[in-house]
Structure 1
Amino acid sequence: MVDERSASAFDPASVPVKDASTVMLVRDSVRGIEVFLLRRVVGMDFAGGMTVFPGGGVDRSDSEASLRWTGRDVEWWAKRFDVTPARAQALVLAAVRETFEECGVLLAGRDPDSVLADTAPHAQARRQLEDRELSFSDFLTREGLVLRADLLRPWARWITPLGERRRYDTHFFVAAAPEGQNADGATSEAEQVLWQTPAEALAHWKSGRSVLLPPTWAQLTDLSKYATVAEILAGDPEIPTIAPIMSRTDTGIHIAFDGDEGYYEDGGPHPWANRDDI
């Protein structure tokens, strides 16, 4: 039950908007492209129980890092996401770091033209990163690794609507899963992980077996239009900043955004139907 006093004292406008990065790992299969998804542990402060892509908030250490990097420079990333170069660097580092923390996939190699074939030897460092006992730049430097920013592509940008108790300016990336590396669920934040085609993930949601936030639904819908990973990586999507509007209706909470009619008409469960904390 929501504490009415704490609910009434809540000031939505006072909630800071923090930068976050999310990575859609994709791979080719006989059934078409597949994307890696996690179902977050129920009870987590943000998106508990939701099916999401790997990702999380930017750390201060991500913007302060000095490390070897290959691929487009930070100015290019800054222009694509319409942010400052410092924020762009932090977003790219957070994308690679969070992917490693949450599913063990590391977009880095011994040199600018290689990528690790096996990340198992770095299991301890992965736990230290998740526990914030080790910075990502220190880890890469210690192991002599080059961050492979060239394996990432910018994809979308969504801001958590006003009214949530945690808000993020989330920048979506897409990357092909490196050959030989195994995406797993060895993280305290995931209850279940799986590879699904975008169509399967959407059907799973429509049947009530999972819950998708609008940004996840929108990206899965977008990815379902592609036949191969190569087509996805060759894409050059526009990246407008999407800022949904949350409001209370007679049937619960409604999240309004461009294309929301498809989200609601598709008939999947919506996590705001019985929200009473705004």
Structure 2
Amino acid sequence: MSDANKLPDGAIPAATLVIMRPSDDGGPDEILMVKRAANMAFAAGAVVFPGGRIDPDDYLVASRHGYGDSDADGAGRVAALRETLEETGLAVGWPALADADVPAVRQALLAERLLSEILDERGDRLALDALVPFARWCPNFKEARTFDTRFFAVEAPAHGHELTVEEAEHSHIFWAGARETLAMADRGEVSIIFPTRRNLEKLAQADDFAAFSAHAAAHPVELVTPWIEEREGESHLCIPGHLGYPVTSEPFERVRRG
């Protein structure tokens, strides 16, 4: 499509994080998933990766870590780490933050303290380069808000505390392999929106973080804006075929868009 990379007006910059850890049974890596609360305006009740909007302070933090003042990739990395800590209590990419300090820092962020101020007070730096960029999506569905979302993957850090959801936005948290989550969705046990399904399918091609990092490096990160196309008399929602996705279309009637 000639306009596939055109960013819709009013799109909200956002970032999401795929956190991968080895499974106990030696199978494919598990991924941290959260279930959105049923009263949310976007993707209510859906299972998603942690993440959220990119805030102005995220650009400031990124600039202090060597990224440009307006570098959306750097700000996206910060937002992905910050939102993950707020939503799950997992401090990714923050090596100096001890388990014992996580609850206080999380609550400070939820109380709208700026991450830049917290980092300054602690004298800490984030490990932003640990994140692997692998996708950027901006679906333009009439039924849902429009987000320009950058996707990153990272290895799960060691932690000794229980992870809990931020109840204002989420109702459940769990670890599961990409193939396992897709199977749960196929059985009707969880609901996933179109971008999450396509990216879980992409993740399912690799058994661990190292293999997925290699897969990500082999494919470009380009803006994905799905489009509708008629195929054999049926409307399909489609994405480009050169970005490493094993499934690039789905009948429109089956798609959950938001």
TM > 0.5 fold call: yes
Q: Which whole-Å CA distance do the structure 2 matches of 1:87 and 1:25 have between them? A: 20
1:192 is the counterpart of 2:182: no
Q: Which residue of 2 aligns with 1:74?
A: 67
The answer on 1:213 being equivalent to 2:193 is yes
Unaligned runs of 5+ in 2: 1-6, 230-234
Shift of 1:224: 0.9
Which of 22, 25, 28 is the equivalent residue of 2:19?
Answer: 25
Letter in 2 for 1:24: V
Partner of 1:103 in structure 2?
88
Residue 145 (structure 2) aligned to one of 166, 174, 181: 166
The CA deviation at 1:203 is 0.2
* Structure 1 residues 129 and 26: alpha-carbon distance in aligned structure 2, compared to 1, 3 A threshold: same
Which of 35, 57, 77 is the equivalent residue of 1:92? 77
Q: CA deviation at 1:169?
A: 0.3
Offset, 1:117: 5.0
Q: Aligned to 1:24, what secondary structure does the other structure show?
A: strand
- SS class of match (1:191): strand
2:139 corresponds to which letter in structure 1?
T
Residues 48 and 183 of structure 1: CA distance in aligned 2, closer, same or farther (over 3 Å): farther
> Contact 1:37–1:53 at 8 Å: present in 2 too?
yes
> What SS is found at the alignment partner of 1:238?
coil
Q: CA RMSD in A?
A: 3.1
Q: 1:230 Cα deviation (Å)?
A: 2.0
Alpha-carbon offset, residue 168 of structure 1: 0.6
Q: Is the 8 A contact 1:161 1:167 kept in 2?
A: yes
Report the alpha carbon displacement of residue 263 of structure 1 after superposing the two structures with TM: 6.2
- Give CA deviations for 1:243-273 in whole Å, capped at 9, x if unaligned: 01369xxxxx9644347966647xx96435x
Residue of structure 1 equivalent to 2:52: 56
Aligned mate of 1:244, from 226, 236, 240: 226
User: What's the counterpart of residue 143 of structure 1?
Assistant: 122
Deviations 1:36-83 (CA, angstroms, capped at 9, x unpaired)? 1011000201111110000000112212337753xxx536xxxxxxxx
Equivalent-residue separation in structure 2 for 1:198 and 1:216 (angstroms):
10
Aligned equivalents of 1:23, 1:184: Cα separation in 2 = 16
What is the rounded CA distance, in whole Å, between the counterparts of 1:271 and 1:144 in structure 2? Answer: 44
Q: Tell me the TM-score normalized by structure 1.
A: 0.75
Superimposed CA distance per residue, residues 133-189 of structure 1 (whole angstroms, 9 cap, x where no aligned partner):
201111122122111012111010000214144211000000000122556233131
Q: Is the Cα contact below 8 Å between 1:105 and 1:181 reproduced in 2?
A: no
Q: Which amino acid aligns with 1:65?
A: V
Residue 103 of structure 2 is aligned to residue 123 of structure 1: yes
Distance 1:246-1:50 versus aligned 2 partners, 3 A rule:
farther
2 CA distance for matches of 1:230 and 1:157? 20
Contact 2:15 2:79 survives alignment (8 Å): yes
- Give the % identical residues: 28
Contact kept in structure 2, 1:108 and 1:145, CA below 8 Å: no
Q: C-alpha distance in 2, partners of 1:91/1:181?
A: 27
Count of residues paired in the alignment: 239
**2:256 equivalent to 1:271:** yes
Alpha-carbon distance between aligned partners in 2 of 1:175 and 1:86, rounded to the nearest angstrom = 20
Query: Aligned-pair distance for 1:219?
Result: 1.3
Aligned-partner Cα distance in 2 for 1:43–1:15: 26
After superposition, the Cα gap between the structure-2 partners of 1:226 and 1:183, relative to the gap in structure 1 and judged at 3 Å, is farther
**Residues 27 and 33 of structure 1 are in contact (CA less than 8 Å); yes or no, is this contact kept in structure 2?**
yes
Alignment of 1:34 onto 2:30: yes
Three-state SS of the structure 2 residue aligned to 1:74 is coil
Q: Distance in 1 between matches of 2:177 and 2:49?
A: 13
